[in-house]
Amino acid sequence: MTIGVQETLDALETANQGMMLERHALKYALRSLFCCSHDQFQQFDSLFDDFWDQHIRVKNRSQMRILAQPKTVERNMNPLQLIGNEKEEQPEEDGEDVSGASALERLRRTDLSQLPVDDMKRLEAFAEVLWRQMNMRLTRRFKAIKRKEQLNLRKTIRQSISSGGEPFNLSFRGRERRKPRLVLFLDISGSMDKYSYFFLKFIYALQKHFEQVESFLFSTELTRVTELLQRGQIQLALQEISSNAESWSSGTRIGVCLRDFNQNYARRILARNSIVVILSDGLDTGEPGLFANEILRMKQRTRKLIWLNPLLGMKDYEPQTRGLSAALPYIDTFVSAHNLDSLLKLERHLIHV
């Protein structure tokens, strides 16, 4: 389970409100804070019962209060020292190096192009959990939105007959709203080599949890990979994508690829409620006018166009390429995507659509 600082603080505040004295109340409260899936709920129940049954056996509330207060020595010691039974206290400035939570926070903020291979594997495992949580939050929010447009007077009057003519329950009518379709484009050109693999896993995570997602890869040509990413095993899908995408790590012709999409896919994929997300550094080698024109055509068919650019994480970066500069007026959101934290901020832009 991924439990961060905020969840820990909430759990301590919950215990401080008196729930430490009520086992079942504490169990339900902590489970709601720490778990976000059915499997985690079952796992938590087992862990909670094992801990309290085997390690803390108290018969009255006064003993519970004593056990709930940490010892002075333990409070001043680092958690890793307690696990390893070390006698010497670690220097305060080394906290970031030894703390697991601090290490994960560092990985979340580090530019993906600067991560060693071992750290990248750790980040991928950690990222999959966070992406799943993000998808669950978005799905719940999408389902919770209900708009009451126009009063259905006939149905309201008919329902009020059973209550003597009093319209206690109002009925509304309106057009059925379809869930937004997510259309993702990933730049796999040579300049994106250090980001493409991680971004592809990000797209796979989104497509795995959202109902309507279309995915494309592009560099010198466009490749639709929606069906490949719908398969259960990501590694097999990645192998097939790498073998089929002949333009992997080549140049970039964004205008040509977007024209291919607008001519062959846009009519049946894009709609007025569609959200287009492009992950690219925007280093186009094609004609700037074509690039801007195709972005405009795509924008006219969609609800929102989001561009995630990893170069925005660099200090003093400005989009000076002619193609990207010409296309910027038609892009609704132009933000960075150089690390995990910046990718997770995509949730903020999807919520308000």
- pLDDT tens for 99-153 read 455 777 788 888 888 888 778 878 877 787 787 777 777 766 555 445 556 777 8
**Same domain? 325 vs 188:** yes
**Same domain? 239 vs 293:** yes
Number of domains in the chain: 3
Q: Classify residue 103: in a domain, yes or no.
A: no
Give the domain-ending residue among 87, 106, 140.
87
The structure tokens 């650019």 sit at 309
Q: Classify residue 236: in a domain, yes or no.
A: yes
Pairwise pLDDT comparison (94 vs 288), residue with the higher score = 288
What is the rounded distance in angstroms from the CA atom of residue 279 to the CA atom of residue 252?
Answer: 13
**Same domain? 202 vs 279:** yes
Q: Classify residue 121: in a domain, yes or no.
A: no
Q: Classify residue 320: in a domain, yes or no.
A: yes
Ranking 83-87, 133-137, 187-191, 342-346 by mean pLDDT, the lowest is 83-87
**Same domain? 232 vs 345:** yes
Pairwise pLDDT comparison (76 vs 154), residue with the higher score = 154
pLDDT class of 98 with cuts at 50, 70, 90:
very low
pLDDT given for residue 142 in this prediction: 55
Q: Classify residue 191: in a domain, yes or no.
A: yes
Domain that holds residue 318: 182-351
pLDDT given for residue 64 in this prediction: 52
Burial 34-43 (b: 16+ CB within 10 A, else e): bbbeeeeeee
pLDDT class of 77 with cuts at 50, 70, 90:
very low
pLDDT given for residue 88 in this prediction: 41
- pLDDT tens for 184-214 read 999 988 888 888 888 888 888 887 766 688 9
Give the domain-ending residue among 54, 87, 120.
87
Q: Classify residue 267: in a domain, yes or no.
A: yes
- pLDDT tens for 275-333 read 999 999 988 888 888 999 999 999 999 989 999 999 888 877 877 788 888 889 999 99
Identify each DSSP E strand in the chain by its residue range. Answer: 150-151, 172-173, 182-187, 213-218, 222-224, 275-279, 304-309, 333-336
**Same domain? 171 vs 210:** no
DSSP state of 187: E
**Same domain? 167 vs 309:** no
pLDDT given for residue 78 in this prediction: 38
Return the top range by mean pLDDT from 3-17, 246-260, 285-299.
285-299
Q: What are phi and psi of 287, to 5 degrees?
A: -80, 125
**Same domain? 77 vs 190:** no
Residue 33 predicted with pLDDT over 50: yes
**Same domain? 226 vs 277:** yes
Say which amino acid occupies 152.
Answer: N
What's the pTM value of the predicted model, to 2 decimals?
0.61
Q: Classify residue 155: in a domain, yes or no.
A: yes
**Same domain? 254 vs 275:** yes
What is the rounded distance in angstroms from the CA atom of residue 232 to the CA atom of residue 92?
Answer: 45
CATH number at residue 331: 3.40.50.410
**Same domain? 164 vs 207:** no
**Same domain? 73 vs 171:** no
Q: Classify residue 225: in a domain, yes or no.
A: yes
Pairwise pLDDT comparison (57 vs 260), residue with the higher score = 260
Q: What is the mean pLDDT of the chain?
A: 76
**Same domain? 195 vs 240:** yes
pLDDT given for residue 259 in this prediction: 94
pLDDT given for residue 245 in this prediction: 58
Q: What percent of the chain has pLDDT over 90?
A: 15
